[in-house]
């Protein structure tokens, strides 16, 4: 049985907003329309649609009546639902109150709610199938018959979601769009230069784009909206200007397409959340290998956790960049990695060896992306290769390696934990030593205070002298000074601090202190 929270989430915030849900796990049985002229009355678990609620008083009465019949929630349009009397009545009656976007048609909402309820039985068995995909292709055929032209249905990123038959009667640009699953960049640029996408956002019913000199045929385009939000668009390849009646009929199909896109998006969101939750459980040791194999499609072989830091962090822009990155990576490795977002980062679990989607292929794809405009802000680190039951260890290693990349301690943009064992040892040692305050012991404090007061560089000089034992030229080169300058500094700092560098224990202690200053 589907819960009221699931219904609200699947329909989405464009149409519904839960103002009060005393029990988010309450089951939903059916959808009932509350109309004065209708004899239908709600039953236990029903969603009650306040279709004929003219004011707050009528909404309060409907809430009380529905609560007495054990309905799960009442749906009321804005702005009535937001009034304090209505919200207070819902809380006192202990019934859910859900706000419906003011521009939403009740008939469309009823259809969408029933679609969500009907799809629950199928989705409870598997999250793999998209229940709206086949319907969307059939709908594209229906729209094509209305406009008498081959049609594609696309999202707001110009990706093809479905297309009709008769695409053989189109042009090379349309063929490339379907084969590549999105409008090619050069074609996209031409349509953008003509203001097509600007017009899509301005609420026009249809947009006609004449044919172009390169052989691209004319297009009739209709935006797909619901509740004021642009969800996508429909593109028909036509012979020339379309009669007003046929263009209007084409535009009239948009609300039906919008319902399908909303249903598709709702299903994808739920599926992605469930998928991501299993992956997070695996990374934190809360899901076993058997569940990972069954629900994530992983295989029983060593895997690595890869963490990717993208520009934008934990923001909407950052989320969009991570989704785009996932799509690009899926093209680069031959299959989409098992990945999920967490705390502004993208985590992926990839096999160490085998066919498509292995760590070597993913790394190659990441390296190929480094030439992009944001390449300097993209970092990726892979933990060690472990059995599926040990993914938390690989995740911890990936996080630690990413930290070294972000801080600049390790050069480059993509590394594996195995490759950076030297800086990892130094960093861990320095971090532990700093907690023990080893830098506050002995004569090193004298050099630190002198550098701070006099602007000298005795501490750095000592570090490079010890780092290049018996090789003053290399130490001087690291400091970018003449070897004689290096020797002069060493005499001065040794006199100042009273150090005996002939004692091997003194040298080891100083190295530990200087390492802590540089690496912690």
- Let me know if residue 428 belongs to a domain: no
**407 shares a domain with 294:** yes
Give percent of the chain above pLDDT 70: 84
337: domain CATH number is: 3.30.70.270
Kindly give, in sequence order, each residue whose CB lies less than 8 Å from that of residue 316, ignoring residues fewer than 6 positions away. none
Stretch 454-458: mean pLDDT = 92
Across 13-17, 168-172, 230-234, 327-331, least confident range: 327-331
- Let me know if residue 280 belongs to a domain: no
Bridge partner residues of 339 (DSSP): 348
Element (H, E) at 403: helix 391-407
User: 340 versus 189: which is more confidently predicted?
Assistant: 189
pLDDT of residue 90: 96
**399 shares a domain with 302:** yes
pLDDT of residue 328: 60
Stretch 377-400: mean pLDDT = 91
Backbone angles phi, psi at 297, to 5 degrees: 75, 20
- Let me know if residue 431 belongs to a domain: no
Give the tens place of pLDDT for each residue, 32-90. Answer: 888 665 556 788 999 999 988 999 999 999 999 999 999 999 999 999 999 999 999 99
**332 shares a domain with 227:** no
**85 shares a domain with 201:** no
Report the alpha-carbon distance of residue 198 to residue 232 in Å, rounded: 13
**143 shares a domain with 249:** yes
**303 shares a domain with 409:** yes
**142 shares a domain with 101:** no
pLDDT of residue 518: 80
pLDDT of residue 179: 62
- Let me know if residue 337 belongs to a domain: yes
**140 shares a domain with 83:** no
**321 shares a domain with 210:** no
- Let me know if residue 275 belongs to a domain: no
pLDDT of residue 95: 96
- Let me know if residue 255 belongs to a domain: yes
Element (H, E) at 93: helix 84-93
Stretch 310-334: mean pLDDT = 59
Report the alpha-carbon distance of residue 490 to residue 513 in Å, rounded: 17
Conformation bin of residue 242: beta by default, left when phi > 0, alpha when psi is -120 to 50:
beta
What does pTM read for this prediction?
Answer: 0.48
Stretch 14-37: mean pLDDT = 84
Across 130-134, 144-148, 373-377, 433-437, least confident range: 130-134
User: Of 357, 390, 421, which marks where a domain is finished?
Assistant: 421
Give the tens place of pLDDT for each residue, 171-183. Answer: 888 877 876 677 8
DSSP 228-280: TEEEEEEEEE-SSPPPHHHHHHHHHTHHHHHHHHHHHHHHHHHHHHHHHHHHH
User: Of 125, 141, 171, which marks where a domain is finished?
Assistant: 125
Stretch 89-104: mean pLDDT = 91
Give the tens place of pLDDT for each residue, 246-285. Answer: 898 898 888 888 888 877 776 666 666 777 788 888 999 9
pLDDT of residue 122: 43
231: domain CATH number is: 3.30.450.40
Specify burial of residue 11 (Cβ count, 10 A radius: 0-12, 13-18, 19+): buried
3-state SS, residue 227: coil
- Let me know if residue 378 belongs to a domain: yes
**183 shares a domain with 111:** no
Report the alpha-carbon distance of residue 227 to residue 258 in Å, rounded: 10
Tell me the average pLDDT of the chain. 83
Report the alpha-carbon distance of residue 450 to residue 131 in Å, rounded: 72
Q: Which of 217-221, 225-229, 418-422 has the highest mean pLDDT?
A: 217-221
36: domain CATH number is: 3.40.1390
Kindly give, in sequence order, each residue whose CB lies less than 8 Å from that of residue 502, ignoring residues fewer than 6 positions away. none
Helices and strands in the chain: count of H runs, count of E runs: 20, 15
- Let me know if residue 272 belongs to a domain: no
pLDDT of residue 332: 47
User: Of 378, 394, 421, which marks where a domain is finished?
Assistant: 421
**480 shares a domain with 357:** no
Stretch 348-364: mean pLDDT = 81
Specify burial of residue 400 (Cβ count, 10 A radius: 0-12, 13-18, 19+): middle
Check pLDDT > 70 for residue 98. Answer: yes
Domains of the chain: total: 4
Question: Residue 53 sits in which domain range?
Answer: 4-125
**207 shares a domain with 109:** no
């Amino acid at each position: 049985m589907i819960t009221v929270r699931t219904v609200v989430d699947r329909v989405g915030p464009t149409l519904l907003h839960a103002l009060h849900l005393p029990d988010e796990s309450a089951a939903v049985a059916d959808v009932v329309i509350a109309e004065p002229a209708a004899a239908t009355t709600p039953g236990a678990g029903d969603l009650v649609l306040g279709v004929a609620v003219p004011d707050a008083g009528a909404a309060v009465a409907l809430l009380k009546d529905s609560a007495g019949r054990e309905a799960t929630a009442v749906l009321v349009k804005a702005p009535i639902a937001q009034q304090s009397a209505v919200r207070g009545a819902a809380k006192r009656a202990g019934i859910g109150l859900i706000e419906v976007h003011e521009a939403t048609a009740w008939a469309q909402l009823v259809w969408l709610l029933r679609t969500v309820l009907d799809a629950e039985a199928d989705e409870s068995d598997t999250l793999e199938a998209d229940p709206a995909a086949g319907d969307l292709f059939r709908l594209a055929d229906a729209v094509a018959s209305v406009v008498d032209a081959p049609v594609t249905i696309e999202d707001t990123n110009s990706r093809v979601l479905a297309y009709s038959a008769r695409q053989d009667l189109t042009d090379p640009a349309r063929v490339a769009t379907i084969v590549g699953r999105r409008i090619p960049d050069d074609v996209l640029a031409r349509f953008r230069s003509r203001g097509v996408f600007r017009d899509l956002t301005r609420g026009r019913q249809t947009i006609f784009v004449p044919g172009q000199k390169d052989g691209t045929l004319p297009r009739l385009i209709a935006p797909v909206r619901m509740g004021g939000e642009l969800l996508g668009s429909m593109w028909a390849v036509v012979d020339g200007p379309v009669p007003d009646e046929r263009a209007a009929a084409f535009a009239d199909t948009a609300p039906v397409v919008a319902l399908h896109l909303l249903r598709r998006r709702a299903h994808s969101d739920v599926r992605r959340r469930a998928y991501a939750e299993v992956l997070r459980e695996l990374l934190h040791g809360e899901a076993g290998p058997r569940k990972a194999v069954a629900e994530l499609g992983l295989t029983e072989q060593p895997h690595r956790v890869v963490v990717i830091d993208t520009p934008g962090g934990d923001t909407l822009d950052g989320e969009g960049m991570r989704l785009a990155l996932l799509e690009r990576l899926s093209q680069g490795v031959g299959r989409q990695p098992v990945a999920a977002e967490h705390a502004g980062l993208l985590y992926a679990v990839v096999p160490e060896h085998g066919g498509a989607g292995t760590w070597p292929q993913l790394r190659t794809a990441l390296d190929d992306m480094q030439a992009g405009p944001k390449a300097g802000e993209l970092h990726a680190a892979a933990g060690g290769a472990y059995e599926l039951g040990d993914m938390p260890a690989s995740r911890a290693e990936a996080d630690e390696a990413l930290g070294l990349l972000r801080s600049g301690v390790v050069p480059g943009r993509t590394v594996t934990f195995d490759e950076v064992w030297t800086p990892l040892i130094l960093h861990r040692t320095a971090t532990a030593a700093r907690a023990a305050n080893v830098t506050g012991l002995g004569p090193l404090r004298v050099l630190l205070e002198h550098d701070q007061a006099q602007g000298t560089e005795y501490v750095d000089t000592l570090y490079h002298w010890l780092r290049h034992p018996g090789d003053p030229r290399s130490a001087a080169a690291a400091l970018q000074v003449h070897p004689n300058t290096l020797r002069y500094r060493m005499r001065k700092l040794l006199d100042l601090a009273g150090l005996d560098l002939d004692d091997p224990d003194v040298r080891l202690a100083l190295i530990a202190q200087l390492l802590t200053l540089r690496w912690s």
